[in-house]
Amino acid sequence: MSAQGTTHEAFDAVRDLFDDALKNEELGASLAVDVGGERVVDLWGGHRDAGRTQPWTADTIVNVFSTTKNVTALAVLTLADRGLIDLDAPVAAYWPDFAANGKSGVLVRHVLGHTSGVSGWDQPITATDLYDLPASTARLAAQAPWWEPGTAPGYHVLTFGHLLGELVRRVDGRSLTDFVARELAGPLGADVQIGAREQDWHRIAPVVPPPPLAFDLAGMDPAGVAVRTFTGPAPDAAVVDTPQWRRAEIGAANGHANARGLVDLLRVVTLGGTAGGVRLLSETTIERIFDVQADAPDLVNGAPVRWGTGFGLTPSPVAPFLPNGRVAWWGGWGGSLAVMDLDRRLTFAYAMNKMTDGGLIPFHRLARYLTTIYQVL
């Protein structure tokens, strides 16, 4: 099915690229762009199901994997802006049990910057165990860090949401899921949620998993951070379409949204903390995003990611299509992506159901869109 939706005439080339992708490589997808508070691209199309019997419609949503981390980071930054969380304080200041086993020096910004040393769970652990938040967060509080906190990045594949979600609960009293719904998505009118309410399941596009991740774990150190993270627990795209996953709170990976919803939410960062008349962040808090927490090869995924406070930053070899400057971004397994470019007042998002086989950082197929968009700007 061809592209549906609207584009400002200056961005017609983006529509052409999207239409071509739907005809040749995508199953179903959505793409949105906001510039200076104006939605200049809002596209969707293709099909929700692998059998191509159900169209991807304007309100279709999909699991966006680690693009969820942008939402979770925004929740914590919002609480920091309200004075309820100090980004430079120890996590244990809010969650005393977390100080166990050498973690008393882990700061909130270490978790937001993937340098806490807690990038996975000690074995044994399964995806099902993650659905029990009290038990799984207690396990993280009890275990020792896998490297000296604050000294190196190690991608918090799934722990990112559990650690930060517990901080939200401790200081606000509500779950991350509820906080996002009532304090972020609701006021901003954004179609974004952690997990998925059962009344919305009918509009979810199931994901089409990619080939297995190209990691030869057998040839790696079984005691190393990478192996322990990727087996604690191992990523499994098939679980995301189960009722258990949708009902759970996996603040690192089970956000459900479309591109428009992500743009409506995250443009509050791009636009200086206020969007649609709703203020969430001050300029001071936004500037904290660009405090570099790590700029080195990642201990988990091996990528040379430059981490700020909650988001990836540029320049980044894994996203060479993004310009330098005040640009915050991150994406998800399979190819979803969100970009907040404060210098150019641009917010971009992409969400799809057919996962690409480009590994955990598969953003190459989005380069054409962003290259074209920046040419227009």
Q: What is the pTM of this model?
A: 0.97
Nearest alpha carbon to residue 26 among 344, 259, 268, 342: 259
Q: Averaged over 338-345, what is the pLDDT?
A: 98
- The tens digit of pLDDT for each residue in 282-303 reads 999 999 999 999 999 999 988 8
pLDDT value of residue 219: 72
- Percentage of the residues of the chain whose pLDDT score is greater than 70: 97
Cα 307 to chain centroid, rounded: 13
Strand order in the sheet with 62-63: 62-63, 255-257, 192-194
Q: pLDDT band at residue 214, thresholds of 50, 70 and 90?
A: low
Return the pLDDT at 212. Answer: 72
Q: Is 175 a residue of the active site? A: no
Given a cut of 90, whether residue 359 has pLDDT beyond it is no
The domain containing residue 209 runs over which residues?
4-376
Query: 173-182, 234-243, 288-297: which has the minimum mean pLDDT?
Result: 234-243
In the structure, what pLDDT confidence band is assigned to residue 317 with cuts at 50, 70 and 90?
A: confident
- In this prediction, residue 235 carries a pLDDT of 82
pLDDT at 357 over 80: no
Residue 189: CA count within 13 A, CB half-sphere: 4
Mean pLDDT of the chain: 95
Q: Is the pLDDT of residue 224 over 80?
A: yes
Q: Provide the number of structural domains found in the chain.
A: 1
Strand-strand pairing, 337-341 and 327-331:
antiparallel
pLDDT band, residue 216 (cuts 50/70/90): low
User: Can you give the CATH number for the domain in which 261 is found?
Assistant: 3.40.710.10
> Could you say which of 2, 30, 66, 136 is catalytic?
66
